[in-house]
């Protein structure tokens, strides 16, 4: 192919600029010659997205090295605010959250950094990265000049940006550009004062020289509210479309300056209950080539997607949460493995710039540790004493997660049947009244499941005074659009027949702490030996219950532990921990994700390893084997059975670019 030539001409034009003799490193926008200038020289980046929050720290270097070896010269990353400030004023930059270490690694490996500190990031991340404690002010207008919001943003940025400053390019670090907000043009508020405030705030902490930019969908409509004077406007769009037309949108906001696609989609996101997204390599390669040919700067979103460990996934509206895997059909798999797409993209880049010499780091080996027998430990309802440290709160009407200062996971709502329900009586929530899934039992017998936007009524029977337990799962906060004020829990009253249920006892649950401290196991073992209750008859549903199993890493095999995948044969839906590390949600009964990625570093060769599961719907244990199984092959694309109509249009290659 002779395609590189046009690019060479373009760069040549840029070279004519007489660079100012500057002292020290500099990075600027050249509006005359339509390019970036790095140390006064024309510069074009080919970058890729890696979210450090989705890759275990032990693998940061491996993923960055693979990026470097593909010929990319920059990495783009988001900073999720809620990952670093779990409680107002308490900051965490340790371990997997050690942002300075990540930035240093990028620099050591030879990658520049395009930083996206938000405060809002979208990213298919819980609440688009905003901390849920912002919702303590009930009517807060997020992403606007609302004083409650601005005060928190100012405080956070006052902590974050001074940490960033030494890593700016002009200060000897790797960061060349810093994004303000994210796709603000697709948010309803369209509050220019808010964007201006952010730009001023960023400059006050980072200095006047910092190159700020914005990113919006590639259409004039988005740029109207998204572009901001003093920040360079860029666009984002996926493969398969008209590259020239897309960049014309950027030219609406920036008549001159470098062409930049800040999010070129190498794949696409998934939702539970929808088929796994796959974008053919040929489509990606073609559009990438077209962009590089005209000298554009491109960021590959994603280079590696990684994993939504714990509870970090977000959701779209109408409510559709994303699964644990953020594989994204990217250049590297969720587990960091090289793909055909990686090598194809590398071949394209090769036509435009020199690729580093040396060996591409190989994919990590995977090991199938085999089946682990699981034993029932105890139900959630039996465990309230160890799960709710501070005890319950009484309230006439249901309280939300934020009202009890709980961010993630599960809460339990308890009340009694006010009347005899000898005939099946509907227990109902208004539409969208349960955030997000409610597992209902009456006197320990499962009555059914309410699900946001999908199932709003079940029939119950029971005597007056029977105990109703409703375990409510937060399945991830909406990360895009108006719905980001996503309160969790029972966000509406429930009715039984014609009556509103009242007199609630609400338990905030610290399940992660209890799992980590082994409390569920100790309690479970004690109970199991003294339990005289026969197991209830097998039914379609069983009440939310903890299960545990142990396994050892085999001796005599070199280089163990290795990465692996956990499979849940005939289990339904729940949360899984290994040695206290929350690996995320499993939901093979809905798909498309079937296996859960288990990075080797959570496994121990010294001690026996523990798997803890909270199964919410139905365990396969009686009758039948009760095992989970470690395999060496991921399955994230299982055929999804038809479920309640999902209310979303099917995705195709004509992607909505504003979802990030």
Ligand X SMILES: *[C@@H]1O[C@H](CO)[C@@H](O)[C@H](O)[C@H]1NC(C)=O
Q: Name the residue nearer to ligand X (CB basis): 390 or 503.
A: 503
Site for ligand X, residues 248 to 267, rule: CB under 6 A: 248
Quick one: which of 361, 392, 569, 589 contacts ligand X (CB under 6 A)?
A: 569
Q: Name the residue nearer to ligand X (CB basis): 73 or 508.
A: 508
DSSP codes of every residue in 420-479: -EEEEEEEE--TT-EESEEEEEETTEEEEEEETTTB-EEEEEE-TTPEEEEEEE----B-
Q: Per DSSP, what are the bridge partners of residue 468? A: 415, 442
Question: What is the nearest approach in angstroms of ligand X to the Cβ of residue 189?
Answer: 25
Q: Name the residue nearer to ligand X (CB basis): 492 or 510.
A: 492
**591: closest CA among 530, 550, 643, 549?**
643
Q: Which two tokens stand for residue 302?
A: 């994603």
Angle, CA 334 vertex, CA 329 and CA 340 arms, to 5°: 50
- 263 counts as catalytic: yes
Q: Name the residue nearer to ligand X (CB basis): 242 or 535.
A: 242
Q: How far apart are CA 135 and CA 133, in angstroms?
A: 5
Q: Which two tokens stand for residue 606?
A: 């010294």
Give the binding range for ligand X (CB under 6 A) out of 112-120, 197-205, 455-463, 560-568.
455-463
Quick one: which of 457, 535, 552, 605 contacts ligand X (CB under 6 A)?
A: 457
Kindly tell me the burial class for residue 45, based on how many C-beta atoms sit within 10 Å of its own C-beta (0-12, 13-18, 19 or more). buried
Closest residue to ligand X using C-beta atoms:
569
Q: Tell how far CA 593 is from the center of its chain.
A: 15
Angle, CA 219 vertex, CA 213 and CA 224 arms, to 5°: 60
Q: Which of 183, 334, 382, 403 is catalytic?
A: 183
542 is an interface residue for ligand X by CB under 6 A: no
Binding mask 191-230 for ligand X (x = CB under 6 A): ----------------------------------------
Q: Name the residue nearer to ligand X (CB basis): 209 or 500.
A: 500
Strands 467-473 and 434-435: unpaired
Query: Quick check: 573 and 587 in contact, CB under 8 A?
Result: yes
**256: closest CA among 34, 43, 45?**
34
**441: closest CA among 423, 421, 415, 418?**
415
Q: Name the residue nearer to ligand X (CB basis): 98 or 248.
A: 248
DSSP codes of every residue in 579-598: TTEEEEEE-TTT-S--SEEE
Query: Quick check: 648 and 271 in contact, CB under 8 A?
Result: yes
Q: Name the residue nearer to ligand X (CB basis): 114 or 434.
A: 434
Q: Which of 263, 274, 382, 615 is catalytic?
A: 263
- 183 counts as catalytic: yes
Residues binding ligand X: what is the number (CB under 6 A)? 31
244 is an interface residue for ligand X by CB under 6 A: yes
DSSP codes of every residue in 225-244: HH-BTTBEEEEE--TTS-HH
Give the binding range for ligand X (CB under 6 A) out of 118-126, 133-141, 327-335, 456-464.
456-464
Binding mask 366-405 for ligand X (x = CB under 6 A): -------------------------------x--------
Site for ligand X, residues 315 to 344, rule: CB under 6 A: none
**537: closest CA among 461, 469, 446, 628?**
446
- Backbone φ and ψ for 250, nearest 5 degrees, come out as -65, -35
Site for ligand X, residues 483 to 522, rule: CB under 6 A: 492-493, 500, 502-503, 518, 521
Give the binding range for ligand X (CB under 6 A) out of 21-29, 45-53, 218-226, 453-461.
453-461
Give the binding range for ligand X (CB under 6 A) out of 14-22, 129-137, 238-246, 475-483.
238-246
Question: What is the nearest approach in angstroms of ligand X to the Cβ of residue 49?
Answer: 22
Give the binding range for ligand X (CB under 6 A) out of 27-35, 94-102, 185-193, 239-247.
239-247
Q: Name the residue nearer to ligand X (CB basis): 154 or 337.
A: 337
459 is an interface residue for ligand X by CB under 6 A: yes
Q: What is the side-by-side strand order in the sheet with 457-462?
A: 457-462, 421-428, 495-496, 499-500
Quick one: which of 25, 318, 361, 418 contacts ligand X (CB under 6 A)?
A: 418
Question: What is the nearest approach in angstroms of ligand X to the Cβ of residue 629?
Answer: 8
Q: Checking phi first, is residue 4 left (phi over 0); if not, alpha (psi -120 to 50) or beta?
A: alpha
242 is an interface residue for ligand X by CB under 6 A: yes
How many angstroms separate the first and last alpha carbons of the chain? 33
Site for ligand X, residues 587 to 646, rule: CB under 6 A: 604, 607-610, 620, 624-625, 637, 639
151 is an interface residue for ligand X by CB under 6 A: no
Longest alpha-carbon distance in the chain? 87
570 is an interface residue for ligand X by CB under 6 A: yes
Length, in residues, of the chain: 660
- Backbone φ and ψ for 26, nearest 5 degrees, come out as -145, 150
Question: What is the nearest approach in angstroms of ligand X to the Cβ of residue 413?
Answer: 12
Q: Per DSSP, what are the bridge partners of residue 441? A: 446, 469
528 is an interface residue for ligand X by CB under 6 A: no
Binding site for ligand X (CB under 6 A): 242, 244-245, 248, 397, 418, 424, 426, 457-459, 492-493, 500, 502-503, 518, 521, 569-570, 579, 604, 607-610, 620, 624-625, 637, 639
List residues with catalytic annotation: 183, 263
């Amino acid at each position: 192919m002779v395609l590189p030539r046009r690019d060479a001409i373009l760069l040549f034009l840029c070279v004519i600029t007489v660079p100012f003799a500057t002292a020290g490193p500099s990075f600027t926008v050249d509006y005359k010659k339509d390019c970036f200038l790095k140390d006064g020289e024309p510069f074009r980046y080919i970058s890729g997205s890696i979210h450090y929050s989705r890759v275990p720290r032990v693998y940061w270097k491996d993923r960055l090295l693979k990026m470097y070896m593909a010929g990319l010269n920059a990495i783009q990353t988001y900073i999720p605010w809620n990952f670093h400030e779990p409680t107002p004023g308490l900051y965490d930059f340790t371990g997997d959250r050690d942002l300075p270490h990540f930035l240093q690694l990028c620099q050591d490996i030879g990658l520049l950094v395009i930083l996206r500190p938000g405060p809002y990031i979208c990213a298919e991340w819980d609440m688009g990265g905003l901390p849920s404690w912002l919702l303590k002010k009930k009517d807060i207008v997020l992403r606007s000049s609302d004083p409650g919001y601005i005060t928190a943003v100012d405080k956070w940025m006052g902590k974050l940006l001074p940490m960033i400053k030494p890593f700016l390019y002009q200060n000897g670090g790797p960061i060349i550009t810093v994004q303000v907000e994210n796709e603000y043009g697709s948010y309803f508020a369209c509050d220019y004062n808010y964007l201006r405030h952010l730009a001023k705030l960023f400059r006050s902490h980072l200095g006047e020289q910092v190159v700020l930019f914005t990113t919006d969908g590639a259409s004039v409509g988005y740029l109207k509210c998204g572009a901001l004077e003093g920040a360079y406007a860029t666009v984002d769009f996926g493969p398969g479309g008209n590259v020239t037309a897309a960049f014309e949108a950027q030219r609406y906001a920036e008549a001159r300056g470098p062409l930049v696609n800040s999010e070129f989609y190498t794949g696409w996101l998934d939702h539970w209950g929808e088929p796994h997204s796959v974008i053919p390599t040929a489509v990606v390669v073609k559009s990438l080539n077209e962009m590089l040919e005209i000298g554009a700067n491109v960021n590959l979103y994603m280079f590696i997607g990684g994993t939504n460990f714990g509870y970090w996934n977000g959701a779209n509206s109408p409510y559709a949460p994303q699964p644990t895997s953020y594989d994204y059909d990217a250049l590297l798999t969720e587990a960091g493995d090289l793909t055909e797409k990686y090598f194809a993209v590398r071949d394209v880049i090769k036509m435009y710039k020199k690729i580093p010499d040396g060996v591409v780091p190989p994919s990590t080996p995977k090991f199938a540790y085999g089946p682990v027998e699981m034993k029932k430990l105890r139900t959630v309802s039996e465990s309230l004493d160890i799960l709710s440290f501070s005890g319950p709160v009484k309230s006439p009407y249901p309280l939300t997660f934020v009202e009890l200062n709980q961010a993630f996971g599960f809460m339990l709502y308890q009340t009694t049947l006010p009347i005899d329900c000898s005939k099946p009586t509907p227990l109902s929530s208004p539409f969208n009244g349960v955030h997000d899934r409610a597992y209902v039992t009456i006197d320990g017998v499962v009555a059914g499941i309410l699900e946001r936007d999908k199932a709003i009524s079940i029939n119950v029977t029971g005597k007056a005074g029977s105990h109703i337990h409703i375990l409510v799962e937060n399945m991830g906060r909406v990360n895009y659009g108006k719905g980001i004020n996503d309160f969790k829990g029972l966000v509406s009253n429930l009715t039984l027949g014609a009556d509103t249920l009242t007199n609630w006892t609400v338990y905030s649950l610290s399940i992660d702490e209890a799992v980590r401290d082994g409390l569920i196991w100790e309690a479970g073992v004690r109970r199991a030996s003294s339990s005289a209750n026969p197991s209830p008859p097998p039914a379609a549903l069983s009440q939310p219950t903890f299960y545990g199993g142990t396994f050892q890493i085999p001796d005599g095999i070199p280089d163990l532990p290795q990465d692996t995948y956990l499979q849940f044969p005939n289990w339904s839906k729940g949360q899984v921990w290994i040695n206290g590390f929350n690996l995320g949600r499993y939901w093979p009964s809905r798909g498309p994700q079937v296996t859960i990625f288990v990075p080797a570093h959570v496994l121990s060769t010294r001690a026996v390893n523990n798997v803890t599961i909270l199964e919410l719907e139905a365990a396969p244990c009686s009758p039948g084997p009760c095992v989970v199984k470690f395999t060496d092959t991921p399955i994230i694309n299982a055929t999804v059975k038809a479920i309640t109509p999902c209310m979303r249009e099917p995705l195709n290659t004509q992607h909505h670019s504003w979802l990030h």
